[in-house]
Amino acid sequence: MKTYDDKHVKNIVLLGSHGSGKTTLAETMLFEAGLLTRRGRIEDRNTVSDYTELERERGCSMQSTCLHSEWRNYKINIIDTPGLDELAGETVPAIHVADTCVLLINARNGVEVGTDLVWEHIAPVQRPVIMAVNQLDHPQADFDAAVAQAKEHFGGAVTVMQYPVESGEGFHRIIDLLRMTMYVFKDEGGKPEKKTIPEAEQARAQRLHKDLVEKAAENDERLMEHYFDKGELDEDEMSEGLRAGMMARTCLPVFCLSALRNMGSGRLMGFIDNVAPGAQQMPASKTVDGNDLTCRPEGPPVLFTFKTAIEAHSGRVTYFKVMSGEVREGMELLNANTGSVERLNQLFIPEGKERKQVDRLAAGDIGAVLKLKGTGTGQTLCTKGREVQLAPVQLPAPRLYRTVRAADQKLEERLHASILEIQQEDPSVTLRYVRESGEQVIGTLGEMHLGAVEWKLAKQYKVEAVFGSPRTAYRETIRKPSAAMYRHKKQTGGSGQFGEVHLRIEPWYEGMPEPTGVSVRGKEVIDLPTGGKLVFCNCITGGVIDNRFMPSILKGVMEKMEQGPLTGSPARDIRVIVHDGKMHPVDSNDISFRIAGLMAFKDAFTQADPQLMEPIQEVEVRVPEDMLGDVMTDLQNRRSIITGISGTGQVQVIKAEVPAAELDRYSTRLKSLTQGRGTHMEHFLVYRPVPEDLQQRLVHDHGKKEMVV
């Protein structure tokens, strides 16, 4: 295969809401470039992009897929991405390595919640965006409404490059405002016939062309002066201005498409070739130490890995972008993240599930390599002695947490190893062990995401997983001071055990004054691993307890704080003051004072008006405007505090503070309420007291479990 230099490689990522036609467009672009003799169909499960068994079973994209087309002496690398926000772990890394984002808008639905969510992933990396209004041949297609919504959501940078003469089933004519030409397509699509713009469309076309010229001119002072002098710009000058506007994100060109009928895709590809910026024109990438890395062929070789796939026959396949220099087959590079050395035994150009071997790849290009030993997604490979580490990709946090265990206990180790391998392919999957509950908890972006993990475990790794609701991470504390003493005495022949501890406990808060009525001889402020603090004050005078036994008393207190007396949840934010006690010259030992400290603390805790605390999550919910009321009602039924409502157009954003116990499987409920159009994000905010009636029920339930045990 021909090797393209950095000036003739363009990298695009196809983005959009579920059902906007990304996979169909990718298939059509390959067909237009002559790489396919026949286009596949999603319904027929034979597209180049959606090639995995899971995707063909589900009938939609479940992962990002790397493809390429060759068009008029340019190579266009195409990354087709899933449209579901639950699969953003595949989409976000693809955006980071693209030079231009092609954002598809469904002509019948306009800007959807999913479109807004994709936009939020684009915004932090400031990539140029081309908007393509697709499915203009649908009976309910409305190009003008879709453009109006795009301007409402994304601002005045939305710039019409083309418009359809007619939308709906009769769609077959597109007026191009850059070239001031009308493209007329046959029913089967393909290469259009170029015709003069009809008289009836001249006024509209001239008005929109003038807007386009002004948009191109405003991005360059020289072009602006030229425009003022001539009153017009030629196509090359407009292309130059539009490219500058795309890079500055002051211009978001809008194109017309029917990807299914192959209408408009060739013109879109031509614009990507001629106008969209390439990697060498993009701003420098940032390294972790704040330096810039420019994409240039003469620079040192630097690769950034953005995807890992584990295939049954090939093993680990790592996809990368050449961020600088040139890489060749057999080259050894240093992993800047891990310090290990990797050898690039074979280089490939990816074509869905197929690959073409090449001997080198230039700066800006995208490729794949097999069987790297220790390199994962989002890592940097560079030349030893010229180390550079690029900033990692920030993936969205999980929204759905479930406990996971193997149905067959003998396969528990295999289950754990399998999930860790799935994590290598999809780092947005998390796995953690919760020590206080003894549960293994998996985090995903939603039910469909979890379903994909479950499918892989069953079909690929041959292990059946059982999922459940995780235990809420309650905490226990106290609301008033109390005091207690405990004498531990045991005599079984020979030396016995004796220890007596007098202590008082108080609710702790930041900046509280020193204890009164005692003399503080020593103080330890302990940051607890489960959150909050324990302040332990040694106020013993007169030598009634030897100083060497104080660590044992603290150990006993800490032991009880790990499993509080109310529900067995960790305790927090308590000050313990040990002020008196007794010891025996022979029978006192560490275990005696550990037990005495534990029991005295337990007795004091139960008398100190104990309070159960629950974790509160800060939740942001995005919903269509017409479904706002149902979602608000559901949130209020979950003991939520609504802190704000905002939004533009058809999308509203609800901010709320919600108890974590009320959010179990909330993403599933939200999808049901909004017909799949709503989504949410959440993160831990604070611990707050549990309502008294709920506390009594939880304590009662815990007591019954303790009796059973």
8-49 pLDDT tens trace: 899 999 999 999 999 999 999 999 888 888 898 888 889 999
The answer to whether residues 320 and 304 touch, using CB atoms and an 8 Å cutoff, is: yes
In the prediction, which pLDDT does 493 show?
A: 66
> How remote is the C-alpha of 613 from its chain's centroid?
29
Backbone φ and ψ for 255, nearest 5 degrees, come out as: -115, 165
Q: What's the rounded Cα separation, in Å, for the pair 643 and 410?
A: 48
Kindly report the pTM of this predicted structure. 0.86
Range from 57-61, 69-73, 428-432 carrying the lowest mean pLDDT: 69-73
pLDDT of residue 156: 92
In this structure, the chain runs to a length of 709
CA 505 – CA 523 distance, rounded (Å): 14
| CA geometry: angle 432, 438, 444, nearest 5 deg | 30
Give me the percent of the chain exceeding a pLDDT of 70: 98
Q: Sort strands 533-538 and 574-582 into parallel, antiparallel or unpaired.
A: parallel
* DSSP β-bridge partners for residue 236: none
CA distance 496 to 485: 20
Amino acid identity of residue 451, one-letter, is G
CA distances (Å), origin 581, targets 488, 502, 519: 11, 5, 15
Does the pLDDT at position 588 exceed 80? yes
- Give the other-Cβ count within 10 Å of 228's Cβ: 9
Query: And the tokens for 210?
Result: 């003038």
What is the pLDDT, as a whole number, of residue 709?
47
Residue 623: both structure tokens together = 């919903």
Structure tokens at 122: 């684009």
Give the residue-averaged pLDDT of 474-503.
Answer: 91
Q: Give the C-alpha distances (Å, rounded to integers) separating 270 from 38, 68, 70, 74, 273.
A: 21, 15, 11, 10, 5
Phi, psi of 507 (to 5 degrees): -65, 130
DSSP type of residue 514: P
Determine whether 56 is exposed, middle or buried from the number of CB atoms within 10 Å of its CB (0-12, 13-18, 19+): middle
Report pLDDT for 315. Answer: 87
pLDDT exceeds 60 at position 216: yes
pLDDT for position 635: 96
Query: Is the CB of residue 680 less than 8 Å from the CB of residue 668?
Result: no
pLDDT of residue 223: 86
pLDDT at 106 exceeding the cut of 70: yes
Q: Choose among 214, 141, 152, 213: nearest CA to 174.
A: 141
Give the residue-averaged pLDDT of 216-220.
Answer: 86
More confident call, 585 vs 163: 163
User: Coil, helix or strand for 356?
Assistant: strand
pLDDT, mean of residues 153-176: 94
- At 630, the pLDDT band (50, 70, 90 cuts) reads very high
- Residue 1: the pLDDT is 55
Contact 502, 572 (CB under 8 A): no
